[in-house]
Structure 1
Amino acid sequence: MLCRLCGLDRLVSVLDLGATPPCERFLGADDLDAPEPTFPLHLRLCEGCLLLQIPALITPEDTFTEYAYFSSFSDSWVQHAKTFVGDTVDRLGLGPQSLVVEVASNDGYLLQHVVAAGIRCLGIEPSQNVGAAACDRGVPTRTDFLDEQVARAVVREHGAADLVVANNVYAHVPDIVGFGRALRTLLADDGWLSIEVHHALNLVTLGQFDTVYHEHFQYYTVLTATRALAAVGLSVVDAELIPTHGGSIRLWARPDSLGAEPTSRFFDILALEEQAGLHDTVGYLGLRARTETVRHELLRFLLECKAANLRVVGYGAPGKGNTLLNYCGIRTDLMEYTVDRNPYKHGRFTPGTRIPIREPEVIADDRPDVVLVLPWNLETELTEQLSYVSDWGGQLVYPLPNLHVVSGKPEVVGGQIR
């Protein structure tokens, strides 16, 4: 394996999660007796450029031609996008003649707010089913995987973009340099690129191993993202720490030719990464122990629930949840079923662990003793939505960043039921 950014062959093993199925390949009932392919999930670090990455064993086409994830099912994510649009319109002075292009625009969760502001926009979304939902929402959407050819076609038809948005896609492309060139092609010579991506600082220091799955090919610090964008003529001029997905970074980049100087908060985040040891290989080597601790505490808790005849169900069927379930070996003997707001997943089964996925309303009817929340990064939103679980004394349990209960009794202390 060669580093996909710098081509070096010196890659250090950071975390081996074994072999798992692709996290969004949910199973139908007819699939349960068929073979299920699995792929190694092994996180490595390049000793040269420090890019954290996994092998590209599946292609984006395998995952995103038809996709199970619809952004708009998360109320907090839609609000996050609305706030971003409002703030950015003011910051950049965007108006009716401006053009905003979002790459991997999903179901229009963000661009719907650009449309509402009366600003020209276009979404580029590879998944046909998700892109159709965006069109139904009134968001102009092109169904395509972004590459340089597609970028040139978009510019010929619509002009260069004043703002290109790439939220939660920069980790999903194995050809970093080719994708970066396509972003640069979309962008006007005085334009802005905004990227949001999960921060490797949180992954490593907080043991957020469940964000590692096959559709995430690499994991960025501000340092490594800056190096990747510099390779295609883009300079990171600002960076922000944002709370989404358990801790992300928002990068603001512009064409090199503008000669813009980075802000102080860009350097502040670089300093945080350096203090955590992430500008050297040593800072990454504690991730394995943190990951094993999470697994042991969660399994201990679930086994004690089983011994006490407490019924456990799940909430959510996110990609990260499937990494958690497979790595921990959690199946229906420890978690009867899970629920999800996305109707696409109802009646299907989680990949690998084959746990049934049902409608959210089942929880209120069923009144289980424990609800294990798999999209733990949405704790604030979901604690409010699931507050009714405490009506019958049920426990609402989050597995990360450490195992904890936010409602119901008895309490869990150090992985022990009290």
Structure 2
Amino acid sequence: MTICRLCGSANLTGVVDLGATPPCERFLTADQLDEPEPTYPLHLRVCTVCRLAQLPPLITPEDTFTEYAYFSSYSTSWVEHARRFVADRFAGPGSLGPDSFVVEVASNDGYLLRHVVERGVRCLGIEPSANVGQAARDRGVPTLTEFLTPEVGAAVRAEHGPADLVVANNVYAHIPDVVGFTEGLRALVADDGLVSIEVQHLLSLMELNQYDTIYHEHFQYYTVASAQRALASGGLTLVDVEPLPTHGGSIRLWARPGGEPGERVLEVLAREKSAGLHELSGYADFAARVARVRRDLLRFLIEAADEGRTIAGYGAPGKGNTLLNHCGIRPDLLPYTVDRNPYKHGRFTPGTRIPILPPERLAADRPDYVLVLPWNLRQELTEQLSYVRDWGGRLVFPIPHLEVV
């Protein structure tokens, strides 16, 4: 029986069932192609009591994050997003200063804290993946290789003191023990400090058909209402929220040990309620809209292949593997994809086993169409791939609906 990980209720109802897929970051080596590949159900449910949307914890964070294939610094726009965030924290009344202490949880390869280091301000990253954590240390970012728990948070506080700012970007969805993780954040932050959390907004996911962001390492999907309850479970109060364009529509949650919800929190709560997400009615037709995305993309790829058009992919993100597996897209329809991350070169996408090559392959092959899998980086990648126009090639974006540009 599936139990809600926030409130403990057994009353969960299905939102969309994407079948069974392998973990989205388990890229295969050539030697693994003849080996069995485990798959796990990918069925999103919502709790009828607390309204937390969630997947059952069929894999553990240790399965995914001990060695990780995602390095944040390969996204130019994401590094710039982090730079602006840090700059804003050191400007204006009540800002951080030279004596501040900043902690980032799931700090990846130091993409954000490197901007804090440049200012000479004390900081620490807590990153469970040994390989990306080492990349951060190589950049001069102090990094502890650990998963955040209440005990780890207390130990860091005891050794380094309380943090004036705790940052947790794109991790609050990645932990099955949401209460324990939140307690860890509370242990890290000073009584008068702030916690900043960035996470995809379930409202955007639902409105824009962003179902490919549903994958096993995302254990839950937040509205502001469910995030508010989750933060409270660990002793934190949601005091502000900022809508963000990142990842197709995210929210930055500002929390602290005390205080009251601000005006923007109430505004976003009202938007969610209007969309029906505080009741079960708002989830009713999502599965039908997901099926339409699948049919449209498959129809396009099949017709292009029948017409003798050449197609290649761009990117090998986790979300892309949800899309490829759900649609049943294999090398007959997408012969290969390319990615900037050298870690993935020579490997194959999980489940669909599509080869991943260096980006230079596109210019060499000059395909008619390039299927852009990290659609959330549309502006950045449209600029990066402008050279595709030189031979009359076109970009294909599958989400929120099929678009050829």
TM-score range, shorter chain: over 0.9
Moved over 3 A (4+): none
1:93 & 1:400 partners in 2: Cα distance? 38
Within a 5 Å distance, the mapping from 1:98-247 to structure 2 comes to 98-247=100-249
Q: Which runs of 5+ in 1 are unaligned?
A: 407-418
Aligned to 1:42: 43
1:56-101 CA-partner distances (Å, limit 9, x unpaired): 0000000000000000000000000001111122254211211000
Aligned to 1:86: 87
1:105 partner SS: coil
How is 1:17-416 mapped onto 2 (pairs within 5 angstroms)? 17-91=18-92, 92-256=94-258, 260-406=259-405
Identity of aligned residues (%): 68
1:293 is displaced (CA, Å) by 0.8
Shift of 1:262: 2.3
* Partners of 1:94 and 1:119 within 8 A in 2: no
Post-superposition shift, 1:361?
A: 0.5
CA distance in 1, matches of 2:360, 2:141: 30
Q: Which residue of 2 aligns with 1:412?
A: none
2-structure distance, mates of 1:268, 1:348:
45
* 1:263 CA displacement: 2.1
Shift of 1:142: 0.6
AA paired with 2:63? Answer: D
Aligned 8 A contact 1:52 1:219 in 2 = yes
User: Could you tell me how far apart the structure 2 residues matched to 1:101 and 1:393 are?
Assistant: 47
1:123 maps to a residue whose letter is G
The SS at the match of 2:166 is: strand
Q: Letter of the aligned partner of 1:269 in structure 2?
A: V
1:56–1:174 CA contact under 8 A, matched in 2: yes
Instruction: Please give the alpha-carbon distance, in whole angstroms, between the structure 2 residues aligned to 1:64 and 1:357.
Output: 21
Deviation at 1:115, TM superposition (A): 0.9
Give the TM-score of the pair, scaled to structure 1.
0.96
State whether structure 2 residue 39 is matched by structure 1 residue 12: no
Task: State the AA in 1 paired with 2:62.
Answer: E
Distance across 1 between alignment mates of 2:54 and 2:263: 28
CA distance, structure 1, for counterparts of residue 271 and residue 140 of structure 2: 41
Normalising by structure 2, report the TM-score. 0.99
Question: How much does 1:157 deviate?
Answer: 1.2
Unmatched 5+ stretches in structure 2:
none
Q: How much does 1:276 deviate? A: 0.5
Any idea what the Cα deviations from partners look like across 1:159-192, whole Å, max 9, x if unmatched?
A: 0100000000000000010101010000101010
1:149, 1:90 → 2: CA distance?
33
Cα distance in structure 1, aligned partners of 2:27 and 2:318? 10
Give the conservation status (yes or no) of the 8 Å contact 1:3–1:9.
yes
1:86 is matched by which residue type in structure 2?
A
Secondary structure in structure 1 of the residue aligned to 2:79: helix
Cα RMSD between the aligned structures? 0.7
CA distance in structure 1 between the partners assigned to 2:107 and 2:284 by the alignment:
35
Opposite residue 79 of structure 1, the aligned amino acid is E
